[in-house]
Chains A and B, each alone.
Chain A
């Protein structure tokens, strides 16, 4: 109970802070700074507004936004993905190279999980094991991602509350057909409860992005069998990186299962010598032979002529 109130208070505090922030950022606040002499505050005020902005060197902070999403893997692994963006020029731009701290939020306290730096797309990812993590009072796994802000950007945070779930992936290869059997369940007091009617998509990792190769919906038992194509190209060993994904389903967040299977056609990674051709650095044999035979014939004659000239000199 106490912790709940505590949480309420914190969120209230946050809200109040945000309200203050909005107030401080709104032009009305700036109006107050300008002398209230003008009776028509419309255009002139706007100009004064600009002037004040130009004069005051005080850095104006940009607002930032943190979006946290989760993906649950088998074995209680949770991948946290924080997307940090800042509002610039009226659009949200990714903020790279910023530290994002991830927390597991308990009823009474928070546990720091780790810190990651955002990539060029503003994304920071952290994979954790949630095995030992306690559920909060409402039965959720609660996470938070925070960005502490810097000289230019406001702080921001995002949270995610999810219910435990897991997807079991079983690759089945029979003769010439391949099937991926999936079983999606949520743990409960009396063992595993199947998750029904969840849409599962099978992806294969490709050079650019992921290729959707199959989809299905789980039945009452939480089971689905999805046919897998047999004509895909793998890496140099024929391996395929396969992911089954349920995207943002109910209160489970994303649920994923991944496997690597040698079901692909191997692609040679060897850089071989280019063929002898017109467009390669290696000329065709006939061309080399013809060229050198002709050059040798002509220069050979030149040599004979020069020899004869030397004889000429000798004879004098």
Chain B
């Protein structure tokens, strides 16, 4: 069995310091994040600790931690009983605000250049209209990545999720070659993590902390779901693009509205991306009809390095 002790190998002094900090970050995480505030790195921010004390912390330490420590790896392999997770992404609502990307990075302690969730600018052919295309892991029911894993490090659960046990991954990258959607990313060097995060015990349900020489990807935040909450990208989106839910219960929610999954797919002609590959994704898309925003709007306020990505398309 794995040691569920959260911090190990730290000296006592550090331990106390970090616990306070971690607790503060954890408590404020929920508060700050739910308001959609984005703190800039290096700024000192005042925060409330769980016992009501005011503490001042550097905002770069303020990446909110997932609230649960994470279940054991053995349990994480089984999945949540009775569930069949599903996501619906409404392309008509996406304005490339990229709040999903930053929320995901914040929650999983990823550097800015590492995107588990990407927003691509798609143009199916030169005559067709471009549209913003947020892409999570598709958690396929016939996952090409899981098929090729030689050590059972990436696995498919009964609740539909495809997760990674980074403690087992040998870093052969075969899953990255096998995934047709370029979903997976590799830790090419030692990830730059704050001490308290680096000291956490890895759980496939939190996918934290990143480990050098291993593969990682979007996990649909099962630890949040266990706590009865929606994944971070869903709640961070200002336009309600992402709907997350349970296919068994036939329900998806974007935080504002809760609707029946089958009805939504039926009414808005939902489809799965590249259906002909036979991977059977668990993510559905609603076509970009009657769009809320002009596509150019997505280029506004983008930093240059991100704007330049779309030079070929627009």
Contacts and interface: CB of A to CB of B under 8 A. Distances in A.
A208 B228 contact: yes
Of A97, A271, A278, A281, which is in contact with the most chain B CB atoms at under 10 Å from its CB?
A271
A209 B253 contact: yes
Contact of B50 (A59, A88, A96, A207): A96
Given A150-B52, A211-B259, A279-B142, A236 B32 contact: no
Contacts of A153: 48, 52
Interface stretch (B79-87, B130-138, B195-203): B79-87
Q: Which 7 A-B pairs have the closest CB atoms?
A: A269-B81, A152-B54, A269-B82, A150-B52, A120-B30, A93-B31, A209-B258
Interface string B36-65: 010000000110101111100000000000
B31 A210 contact: no
Given A94-B34, A271-B81, A281-B152, A206 B246 contact: yes
B245 A206 contact: yes
A279 B147 CA distance: 4
B54 A208 contact: no
A235 B230 contact: no
A96 B50 CA distance: 6
A181 interface: no
Give chain A's interface residue range (CB within 8 Å of chain B).
35 or more
Contact of A207 (B31, B155, B246): B246
B173 interface: no
B158 A272 contact: yes
Given A86-B48, A235-B82, A152 B53 contact: yes
Contacts of B251: 206-208, 211
B245 A208 contact: yes
Given A97-B50, A274-B156, 6 more contacts: A93-B48, A94-B31, A96-B50, A150-B52, A207-B245, A281-B155
Interface in B155-170: 155-156, 158
Contact of B156 (A92, A235, A279): A279
A211 B251 CA distance: 8
Residue of A268, A272, A279 with most partner-chain B CB within 10 A: A279
A62 B308 CA distance: 43
B159 to A, nearest CB: 9
B232 to A, nearest CB: 13
A79 interface: no
B206 to A, nearest CB: 17
Nearest to A61: B54
Given A211-B251, A271-B79, A97 B147 contact: no
A48 interface: no
B53 A233 contact: no
8 contacts: A89-B37, A97-B51, A121-B30, A151-B53, A208-B258, A233-B248, A233-B250, A279-B143
A212 interface: yes
B190 to A, nearest CB: 30
Contacts of B259: 211
B260 interface: yes
Nearest to B234: A208
